[in-house]
Amino acid sequence: MPEGLIVKALSGYYYVKPADSVENGTIQCRGRGILRKNGVTPLVGDQVRYSLTENGEGMVDEVLPRITELIRPPIANARLAVLLFSLREPDLNLQLLDKFLVHIEHAGLRTLICLTKRDLLKQQEENDLTHDITKQTADLYKSIGYDVIVTSSKTGLGTEEVKSRLAGEISVFSGQSGVGKSSLLNAMLPELSLETAEISMKLGRGRHTTRHVELMELTNGGYVADTPGFSQLDFMEIEADELSSCFIEFQSYAENCKFRGCSHLHEPGCKVRQALEAGEIAASRYEHYLQFHEEMKEKKRRY
């Protein structure tokens, strides 16, 4: 039975790229009833076994085991998340960046942070403070352990470096709407001609231009999922006691806290708070940790 990769799911159809095909063609498939009976919903990114039908279409017979599974966006087997946050229009939002990082750590994906729209800072090159903010942000997240690339789709800055990181991977592109996801994808793959959106100056954010999850194939063996943008995320899938493990710089300190299951809020002998006081953990990150913890408690009270 042939195998393939689901590269798009739309209106009840799954578009499967055959594993033995070097071309970009796909087979339009339906899912077998047995999958639904067994509670299995095929996802974009799934490796599947399928069979051909008489009308030239196909049926997905089996979904092979998944490495990862994301709920939002619904995609399987992604191992790298590319988070795009703009330096201008909209302005850099570190609280939202940290919220995305929490969700990605919880999902078990690796992360590449792209600081986009570097070209919009050119007119302010003489403003050292602006440059310091960009450098400080990049240095902060690099010191935590994240890869950070500063990009500009207009000038091409960082485009090839990002593309090289995606080789052989299924990657998820995500971030706040209007930060240049489609523009960066267009810069890497000009043949895509993805729709881009102007920024609303009144709202300070872009319109969502991505309407469904679809894998786009790169020339280096990678696939990219251009996922719908989010202006906010909730914590419905994460428990409060899981939050600290999603702040990766907390982990080595948390192992030595006096109390097992330390929340790092008020317990005596908390090594995370000691590291904060010593300047070994960034104050902005800990402040966001407190905000997210409170947000999670509020959600529990409401539901």
Domain 240-302 has CATH 1.10.40.50: yes
Q: For residue range 253-278, what is the model confidence (pLDDT) as tens digits?
A: 999 999 999 999 999 999 999 999 99
Confidence category of residue 123, pLDDT binned at 50, 70, 90: low
Q: What is the mean pLDDT of residues 281-301?
A: 92
Domain with CATH 1.10.40.50 in the chain: 240-302
Higher pLDDT, 155 or 279: 279
| Alpha-carbon distances, residue 130 vs 42, 214, 216 (angstroms) | 46, 36, 35
Q: What is the mean pLDDT of residues 212-239?
A: 74
Contact status, residue 196 vs residue 116, Cβ threshold 8 Å: no
Contact status, residue 16 vs residue 2, Cβ threshold 8 Å: no
Domain with CATH 3.40.50.300 in the chain: 75-226
Count CB-CB contacts under 10 A for residue 207.
14
Residue-level pLDDT at 57: 93
pTM reported for the whole predicted model: 0.83
Domain with CATH 2.40.50.140 in the chain: 3-65
Burial call 76-97: b when 16+ CB within 10 Å, e when fewer:
bbbebbbbbbbbbbbebbbebb
In CATH terms, 3-65 corresponds, of 3.40.50.300, 3.40.930.10, 3.40.50.720, 2.40.50.140, to: 2.40.50.140
Q: For residue range 47-98, what is the model confidence (pLDDT) as tens digits?
A: 999 999 988 899 999 999 999 988 777 899 999 999 999 888 888 899 999 9
Annotated binding site: 116-119, 175-183, 257, 262, 264, 270
Tokens 């800072």 locate to 121
- Could you tell me which residues are beta bridge partners of residue 6? 16
Contact status, residue 141 vs residue 134, Cβ threshold 8 Å: no
| Residue 127, pLDDT above cutoff 60 | no
Annotated binding site for Zn(2+): 257, 262, 264, 270
Determine the Cα–Cα distance for residues 130 and 180; give it in Å rounded to an integer: 20
Annotated binding site for GTP: 116-119, 175-183
Q: In three state form, how does the secondary structure of the chain look? A: CCEEEEEEEECCEEEEEECCCCCCCCEEEEECHHHHHCCCCCCECCEEEEEECCCCCEEEEEECCCCCEECCCCEECCCEEEEEEECCCCCCCHHHHHHHHHHHHHHCCEEEEEEECHHHHHHHCCCHHHHHHHHHHHHHHHHHCCEEEECCCCCCCCHHHHHHHCCCCEEEEECCCCCCHHHHHHHHCHHHCCCCCCEECCCCEECCCCCCCEEEECCCCCEEEECCCCCCCCCCCCCHHHCHHHCHHHHHHHCCCCCCCCCCCCCCCCHHHHHHHCCCCCHHHHHHHHHHHHHHHHHHHHC
| Residue 15, pLDDT above cutoff 90 | yes
Instruction: Give me the CATH code for the 75-226 domain, please.
Output: 3.40.50.300
Assigned token pair, 191: 């043949």
